[in-house]
Amino acid sequence: MKRKFYISALIGLLTGAANGLFGAGGGTILVPCMERFLNIKPQKAHASAIAVILPLSVISAVFYILKGSILPDCVVLTSLGGIIGGFIGARLLNKFTGKWLHRIFGAFMIMAAVRMIL
């Protein structure tokens, strides 16, 4: 039980650092770590990641707002799209097997990595 607590805290620390540093992206660390080190099934890991990322994003956003780094118009429009997309994604989550979730998640990670390199 103590081991799980420490592993969860470490995963949270890494996720929070990635989220604060990159403005997002904590889920790319959180989901695989929850599956591998906490033995959480893919659907539950993805769903749990959303619940974890929300407060991390709020905290990061507060710091970015205080620094004047946020573009209000962009935030509002992107948030509206994100809310709609989040609803659709949450409805679709349980329709995919763990294997397909891994493939889709991996494909998005690869696309993001290639985009960042280029």
Whether the full predicted model's pTM is greater than 0.85, yes or no, is no
Domain assignment of residue 55, given as a range: 2-117
pLDDT for residue 24: 65
pLDDT for residue 65: 82
State the total domains in the chain.
Answer: 1
pLDDT for residue 107: 93
| pLDDT tens track, the chain, 118 positions | 788 999 999 998 888 888 777 766 677 888 899 999 999 999 999 889 888 888 877 887 788 888 888 887 778 888 888 889 888 988 998 899 989 988 998 898 899 889 888 8
Cα(46)–Cα(8) distance, integer angstroms: 15
- List, in order, residues 6 or more apart from 18 with CB less than 8 Å away: 25, 26, 28, 29
Cα(45)–Cα(77) distance, integer angstroms: 28
